Amino acid sequence: MRTVIEMKNIVKNYHVGDVVVHALRGVDLNIKEGEFVAIMGASGSGKSTLMNILGCLDTATNGDYFLDELNVNSLNKDQYADIRNQKIGFVFQGFNLLPRTTALENVELPLLYDRKERIKNPREQAIKALQSVGLKERLDHVPNQLSGGQQQRVAVARALVNNPAIILADEPTGNLDTRTSVDVMSVFQRLNKEGKTIIVVTHEPDIAQFAKRNIKLRDGKIIEDVQIAVPQKADEILAALIGDEDEVV
């Protein structure tokens, strides 16, 4: 399998007034295509910083980062924007959908910012992405007409729509109840089965159980990196939670 992410000795320092905060103190990380990784750690462990650097929202102070075999260290602001547009799909804790904008338009948005217009028919592609997260019937709903779980599915569809190298989810279940959380994780598991590389940042061990690999951070360093032989199957847990209710989340 191809290596999608390769990080070598990534260091990130923040200056808060005169004090230097060492958020990351040398992180080495390799993630291959098709992996499902959960990055865990308490608050202050540096996982958000790592997430921002992985997502090209922030640059490392030191170290090399190759995304999809491309060295992203030496890129300018516009190139960073293009990488976020083409290589990365974001899913956030707070969903971060545009308000008063339909699900379809939200999902379409990354394609509209693509300068090279690789995808000729953005509307069709957006409908396909929404279909794949099971929201075919809600194309014209605006975010406040959707439940939390549905909003997060729209966000996942938006992350998928441009066929990114990685899907990066930052606490994707943080605002959701248990059942909906499991539901969203089942979407991720299914996408992973289809070959998508997924990285989830979470502080909940329950959620990490659905991933195939768990990485633990503490004080800006990786302290644990384990493969999980048999991850929990979200579908089965969900089925058990719902029983035979016919309600669709």
Partner 1 sequence: MKWYRILKISFKSILKNKMRSALTSLGIIIGVCSVIVMIAVGQGSSVRITEQINSLGTNLLMVRPGGSRMGGVHRGEGSFNKMKLSDCDAITKEAEHVKYVSPVIQASAQIIGGESNWNTTVYGVSTQYPDIKDWELSSGTFFTEKDIKAKKKIAVLGQTIVDELFPDTDPVGQRIRIRNTPFTVIGVLEEKGESGMGMDQDDVILAPSTTVLYRLKGGDFIDMIYVSANSTDDMDAAQAEIETIIRKEHKIENSEDDDFHVNSQSEITEMASETSETLTLLLGAIAGVSLLVGGIGIMNIMLVSVTERTREIGIRLSIGARSKDVLTQFLTESITLSLIGGIIGILLAVIITSVMNKFTSIITVISPGIVVLSVVFAAAVGIFFGYYPARKAANLNPIDALRYE
143 is an interface residue for partner 1 by CB under 8 A? no
Q: How far is the CB of 85 from partner 1 (least distance, A)?
A: 2
From 215, 228, 206, select the one nearest 38 (Cα to Cα). Answer: 215
Q: Which of 6, 64, 82, 204 binds partner 1 (CB under 8 A)?
A: 82
From 24, 20, 65, select the one nearest 44 (Cα to Cα). Answer: 24
DSSP, collapsed to helix, strand or coil, labels residue 132 as helix
Q: Which stretch binds partner 1 (CB under 8 A): 104-112, 191-199, 225-233, 241-249?
A: 104-112
| Residue 45 vs 162, nearer CB to partner 1 | 162
210 is an interface residue for partner 1 by CB under 8 A? no
112 is an interface residue for partner 1 by CB under 8 A? yes
Number of residues that bind partner 1 (CB under 8 A): 25
DSSP, collapsed to helix, strand or coil, labels residue 236 as helix
| Residue 85 vs 192, nearer CB to partner 1 | 85
Q: Which of 6, 13, 32, 52 binds partner 1 (CB under 8 A)?
A: 52
Strand order, beta sheet including 3-16: 19-32, 3-16, 62-67, 70-71
> In DSSP terms, which residues pair with 221 in a beta bridge?
218
3-state helix, strand and coil shares in percent for the chain, rounded to the nearest 5:
35, 25, 40
**CB contact at 8 A, 208 and 202:** yes
**8-state DSSP, 98:** P
| Residue 95 vs 210, nearer CB to partner 1 | 95
Q: Which of 12, 23, 38, 85 binds partner 1 (CB under 8 A)?
A: 85
Q: Which residues bind partner 1 (CB under 8 A)?
A: 52, 55, 57-58, 77-78, 81-82, 84-86, 90, 92, 96-100, 109-110, 112-114, 158, 162
